[in-house]
DNA sequence: GCGATAAGATACACTTTGTTCTGTAAATAA
DNA sequence: TTATTTACAGAACAAAGTGTATCTTATCGC
């Protein structure tokens, strides 16, 4: 990819990230983004079709990064009853989410938070699917997975709203307690 | 209240409800609302300061209705350990959500669902606050309430997505099972 | 019927979005 | 290096949308 493109794309992401620290996505204008990124209007639209497209691209980047780097490998884990692997894995995810805090807090706070949380839930749905044997089988499997992924996403939202005052380990532990997997 | 005002207010609510079934709130314009409601532009702004103000008023009306009509009275309930009151109450809420005549079912299932679920969570937060003594005290109270209200909202979403195939009682029971209050 | 007030209609200023155009600078390939 | 392609900046532009102001008409409550 052309170095100029890389530079511009990064400048736009950085500008949006900076703006998201102080205001919600809905209230940010393209003009503000290109002023801070120090690029021309036409350049912005050469990179992203719309402002929403930018948000989606940014979310995808962040999310992909979180779920592909630094997590314990699947092959190293076992899914046996009572294993602490799920809690460890959730803790790792929380660590990565916190690293992206400056971007995520602004995104999650507003109406656009659902977009990102939707991505997160999708991945969590798969993740929990591999641990489902550990859980209560007396409810429909789909209900179970929705409950687990939805409530973890809710925990993330709570955590970001309190400005990540608790540690990732604590939050993972709170969550495990709530879903009946108290250590 | 003046009959003209009542008529106009209802026309606006109905128009928004109709539009929300097929598109999300952000993409609905004031022009579309007043066209369907068949009122003038200045009339709209005589009733609501902004488009957001309309949404807020409408949500408040709908959920206030659900949470105040037909539910067992607070005074008749006790909040003692193991009482079935919470499950009963949640079941009643599910009944109202399913049979709401105000297009709520269509809205919750549609693209604007998240928006309304946000309002639902606010009410649930208060509701669960009155039952918090029954729950695990080893996590922060705010985390607990977020988990309970968020995951119930998630259950509602799942239920609407499956087109309310299960009964309200079944869903309430699934939920109670997941939060460790199995009967 | 009468005064108050809600509604209708229209024009308006303002903001934001996304497009289009032209000239310039930078990367790349020969 | 030279030629070619590509990205960028800046500005002007149309279109859409928001909320305001004003004036006239219709309807309500008494």
B180 pLDDT above the threshold of 90: no
pLDDT, one tens digit per residue, over A97-109 is 998 766 677 777 7
Q: Which residues of B touch A158 (CB under 8 A)?
A: 142-143, 146-147
For tokens 């540690």, the residue is: A167
pLDDT at residue number B78: 53
Rounded, the Å distance between the CA of A101 and C1' of D24 is 56
Rounded, the Å distance between the CA of A72 and C1' of D18 is 50
pLDDT at residue number A1: 77
pLDDT, one tens digit per residue, over B59-116 is 888 888 888 875 555 555 555 555 568 999 999 999 998 887 656 777 777 777 888 8
pLDDT at residue number A92: 93
- Verify whether the Cβ–Cβ distance B158 to A142 is below 8 Å: yes
Q: Which residue is nearest to nucleotide D8 (CA to C1')?
A: A43
- Verify whether the Cβ–Cβ distance B136 to A111 is below 8 Å: no
- Distance from the B3 Cα atom to the nearest Cα atom in chain A, whole angstroms: 35
pLDDT at residue number B9: 97
Q: Identify which of B136, B138, B147 has the shortest CB distance to residue A151.
A: B147
A134 pLDDT above the threshold of 90: no
Residues of B contacting chain A (CB within 8 angstroms): 26, 114-115, 136, 138-140, 142-144, 146-147, 150-151, 153-155, 157-158, 162, 166, 174-175, 177-180
pLDDT, one tens digit per residue, over A145-161 is 999 999 999 999 999 98
- Verify whether the Cβ–Cβ distance A178 to B154 is below 8 Å: no
CATH no., domain B3-48? 1.10.10
B183 pLDDT above the threshold of 80: no
Hey, where are the domains in chain B? 3-48, 56-179
How high is the mean pLDDT of chain A? 87
pLDDT at residue number A183: 59
pLDDT at residue number A99: 85
A124-139 average pLDDT score: 87
B34-63 average pLDDT score: 94
The secondary structure of residue B73, as a DSSP letter, is P
Q: Which residues of B touch A166 (CB under 8 A)?
A: 140
- Verify whether the Cβ–Cβ distance B155 to A142 is below 8 Å: no
pLDDT at residue number B65: 86
DSSP labels, chain A: --HHHHHHHHHHHHHHHHHHTTS-GGG--HHHHHHHHT--HHHHHHH-SSHHHHHHHHHHHHHHHHHHSSSPPGGG----TT-THHHHHHHHHHHHHHHTHHHHHHHHHSTTHHHHHHHHHHHHHHHHHTTGGGS--SS-HHHHHHHHHHHHHHHHHHHHHTTS-S-HHHHHHHHHHHTT---
CB distance A70 to A56 below 8 Å: no
B105's tokens? 């079912």
Most confident of the ranges A12-16, A178-182, B134-138: A12-16
Residue contacts between A and B (CB atoms, under 8 Å): 70
B176 pLDDT above the threshold of 80: yes
A56-179 CATH fold = Tetracycline Repressor; domain 2 (1.10.357)
Confidence of residue A115 (pLDDT cuts 50, 70, 90): confident
pLDDT, one tens digit per residue, over A38-55 is 999 999 999 999 999 999
In this prediction the pTM is: 0.85
Q: Which residues of A touch B174 (CB under 8 A)?
A: 139-140, 143
Nearest 10 degrees: Cα torsion A50, A55, A56, A57: 90
């Amino acid at each position: 990819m052309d170095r100029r493109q890389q530079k511009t794309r990064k400048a736009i992401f950085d500008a949006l990230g900076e703006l998201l620290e102080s205001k919600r996505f809905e209230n940010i204008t393209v003009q503000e983004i290109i002023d801070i990124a120090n690029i021309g209007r036409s350049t912005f639209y050469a990179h992203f079709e719309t402002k929403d497209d930018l948000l989606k691209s940014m979310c995808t980047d962040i999310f992909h990064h979180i779920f592909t780097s630094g997590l314990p490998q699947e092959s190293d884990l076992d899914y046996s009853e009572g294993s602490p692997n799920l809690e460890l894995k959730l803790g790792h995810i929380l660590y990565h989410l916190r690293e992206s805090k400056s971007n995520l807090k602004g995104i999650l706070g507003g109406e656009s938070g659902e977009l990102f949380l939707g991505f997160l839930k999708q991945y969590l749905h798969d993740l929990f699917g591999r641990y489902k044997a550990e859980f209560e089988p007396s409810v429909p499997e789909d209900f179970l997975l929705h409950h687990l992924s939805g409530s973890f996403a809710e925990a993330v939202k709570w955590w970001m709203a309190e400005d990540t005052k608790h540690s990732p380990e604590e939050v993972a532990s709170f969550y495990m307690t709530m879903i009946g997997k108290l250590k």
